[in-house]
């Protein structure tokens, strides 16, 4: 493009943008339409991001989870007491003063009423070994104390305590045929563990007639690079048929189904609402072109080319898209970020508690979508403006 063309482009675009306040009402319609779409898109996807993060925060590459061979989750897994000992005694497992740093675990589903609705929800009551807290690197007791092994005592994750009734430290609850004392509330950096209730594994086995069976074993490896060697060691033992994976991989698999569903639904909603936003932008930009018919014809008569005219109309549309996108991202952050809720984890058929997360990446995605809608909405009016007859434009009222 020649220097004269660039000057024309800059002059007409700047003039058009300066006149946007004169078309404030129609411009606001387009911007608000884009903002609504971006708010919903980012809000829905922040649910997926929150669900994914609450699982992935619980995962570490140097902690392994061992399930029965062929199992994809804990619910379908089963291990005997002797097998859990073999799994924990492998040479790649860190050894503390009182034995291997390992936690044989199992869980049952209990019904606990939600604080908001009072309806019963499935909550995991997890039986853990004495080393369990050492395997969760960010574990800490917030109030009360740790449960005592051998007693009908539990500790409750802080998310579960906020979402469900009766789980305050010092209270007594009745699950199965047993009364349980809530000894304390714990935190684990917002991980999936915060939506669970923990107790001594042996006590849980006796309370629910589980014999000496477990569903998984969690072990601390000496280093993350030992995972493949650890898996090979266990798989070489004829007494074991197991599946070994890192915590991070395990939780990624657990989150795959629900995040795919949420993102699919969010995309469909965004497309449907996006059509409305595109029509709003089309209407606004067509109105802008109609109002500026004589102005555009005058510019063309003075020698301004078609490209500067197209660019000026598209610039206005993109400005409205940017404003709407920023407004939508701000609304999504204020309205959704940090909001705590719970949903069904289909991998374990239990309720999982998480918080919506509006991340910078999500906001950039929403902003890009807003700009795309504005571009689509402004393209046809821009082409029309460039193609209109100079003579007919100068005669327009």
Contact 139, 133 (CB under 8 A): yes
- Which of left, alpha, beta for 272 (phi over 0: left; psi -120 to 50: alpha)? alpha
pLDDT band with cut points at 50, 70 and 90 for residue 387: confident
pLDDT tens digits along 251-274: 877 777 777 777 777 777 777 777
> Residue 247: inside a domain, yes or no?
no
What is the pLDDT confidence band of residue 3, given thresholds at 50, 70 and 90? very low
Q: Decide: 328 and 32 in contact? Cβ < 8 Å.
A: no
For residues 38 and 119, membership in a common domain is answered with no
For residues 356 and 278, state if they share a domain: yes
What is the per-residue pLDDT for 299? 62
Domain that holds residue 134: 63-222
Q: Do 51 and 16 belong to one domain?
A: yes
In a domain, 240, yes or no: no
Give mean pLDDT, residues 104-128: 90
Provide the pLDDT for residue 1. Answer: 45
* DSSP-based three-state secondary structure for 117: coil
Indicate whether 243 belongs to any domain: no
Residue 15 has pLDDT above 70, yes or no: no
Average pLDDT over residues 23-30: 69
Residue 31: pLDDT band with limits 50, 70, 90:
confident
Q: Per mean pLDDT, which range of 46-55, 128-137, 319-328 is the poorest? A: 46-55
Asked whether residue 152 falls in the same domain as residue 81, the answer is yes
Cβ–Cβ < 8 Å for 67, 253: no
Number of neighbouring beta carbons within 10 Å of residue 111: 12
Alpha helices in the chain (DSSP H): 3-18, 24-56, 81-88, 132-135, 158-163, 201-207, 227-235, 247-291, 293-301, 306-336, 360-387, 390-395
Confidence of residue 221 (pLDDT cuts 50, 70, 90): very high
Max mean pLDDT among 48-57, 221-230, 306-315 falls in 221-230
Higher pLDDT, residue 52 or 135: 135
The per-residue pLDDT for range 164-191, each reduced to its tens digit, is: 999 999 999 999 889 999 999 999 887 8
Indicate the pLDDT class of residue 293, thresholds 50, 70 and 90: low
Do 73 and 50 have their domain in common? no
pLDDT score for 23:
61
Mean pLDDT of 315-341: 86
Domain end (from 200, 222, 244): 222
Pair (289, 386) in one structural domain: yes
Indicate whether 327 belongs to any domain. yes
Q: What is the DSSP letter of 377?
A: H
Give the pLDDT confidence score for residue 309 in this predicted structure: 67
Tell me if 241 is assigned to some domain: no
Residue-level pLDDT at 294: 64
Q: Are 35 and 325 in contact (CB under 8 A)?
A: yes
- pLDDT for the residue 226: 95
> Are 80 and 209 in a shared domain?
yes
158-171 pLDDT tens trace: 989 998 999 999 99
Q: What is the pLDDT of residue 300?
A: 64
Q: Do residue 370 and residue 259 come from a single domain?
A: yes
Q: Are residue 52 and residue 67 in the same domain, yes or no?
A: no
Average pLDDT, the chain: 82
Count of structural domains within the chain: 2
Instruction: For residues 173 and 82, state if they share a domain.
Output: yes
The answer to whether residue 29 is domain-embedded is: yes
**Do 220 and 61 form a contact (C-beta atoms < 8 A)?**
no
- Regarding whether 51 and 160 lie in a shared domain, the answer is no
In a domain, 245, yes or no: no
Average pLDDT over residues 109-131: 90
More confident: 90 or 2: 90
Q: Which residues contact 204 (CB under 8 A, 6 or more apart)?
A: 106, 107, 108, 125, 126, 127, 210
Let me know if residue 287 belongs to a domain: yes
Q: How far apart are CA 352 and CA 244, in angstroms?
A: 24
Same domain, 87 and 145: yes
Predicted confidence at residue 56, as pLDDT, reads 63
């Amino acid at each position: 493009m020649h220097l004269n063309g660039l000057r024309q482009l800059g002059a007409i675009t700047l003039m058009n943008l300066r006149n946007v306040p004169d078309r404030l009402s129609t411009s606001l319609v387009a911007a608000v339409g884009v903002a609504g779409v971006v708010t919903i898109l980012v809000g829905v996807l922040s649910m997926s991001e929150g669900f994914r993060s609450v699982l992935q925060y619980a995962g570490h590459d140097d902690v392994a989870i061992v399930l029965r061979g062929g199992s994809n989750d804990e619910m379908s897994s089963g291990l005997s007491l002797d097998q859990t000992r073999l799994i924990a005694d492998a040479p790649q497992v860190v050894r503390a003063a009182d034995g291997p740093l390992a936690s044989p675990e199992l869980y049952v589903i209990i019904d606990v009423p939600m604080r908001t609705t009072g309806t019963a929800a499935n909550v995991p009551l997890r039986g853990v070994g004495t080393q369990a807290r050492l395997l969760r690197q960010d574990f800490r007791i917030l109030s009360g104390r740790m449960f005592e092994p051998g007693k009908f005592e539990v500790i409750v994750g802080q998310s579960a305590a906020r979402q469900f009734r009766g789980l305050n430290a010092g209270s007594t609850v009745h699950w199965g045929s047993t009364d349980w004392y809530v000894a304390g509330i714990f935190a684990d950096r917002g991980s999936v563990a915060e939506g669970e209730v923990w107790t001594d594994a042996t006590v849980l086995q006796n309370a629910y007639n589980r014999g000496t069976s477990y569903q998984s074993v969690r072990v601390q490896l000496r280093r993350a690079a030992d995972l493949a060697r650890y898996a090979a060691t266990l798989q070489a033992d004829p007494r074991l048929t197991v599946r070994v994976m890192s915590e991070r991989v395990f939780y990624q698999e657990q989150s795959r189904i629900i995040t795919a569903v949420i993102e699919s639904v969010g995309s469909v909603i965004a497309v449907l609402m996006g059509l409305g936003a595109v029509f709003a932008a089309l209407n606004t930009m067509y109105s802008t072109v109609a109002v500026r018919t004589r102005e555009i014809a005058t510019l063309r008569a003075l020698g301004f080319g078609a490209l500067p005219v197209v660019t000026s109309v598209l610039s206005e549309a993109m400005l409205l898209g940017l404003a709407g996108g920023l407004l939508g991202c701000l609304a999504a952050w204020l309205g959704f970020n940090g909001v705590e809720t719970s949903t069904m984890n289909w991998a374990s058929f239990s309720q999982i508690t998480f918080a919506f997360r509006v991340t910078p990446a999500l906001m950039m995605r929403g902003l890009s979508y807003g700009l795309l809608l504005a571009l689509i909405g402004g393209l046809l009016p821009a082409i029309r403006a460039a193609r209109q007859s100079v003579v007919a434009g100068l005669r327009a009222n």
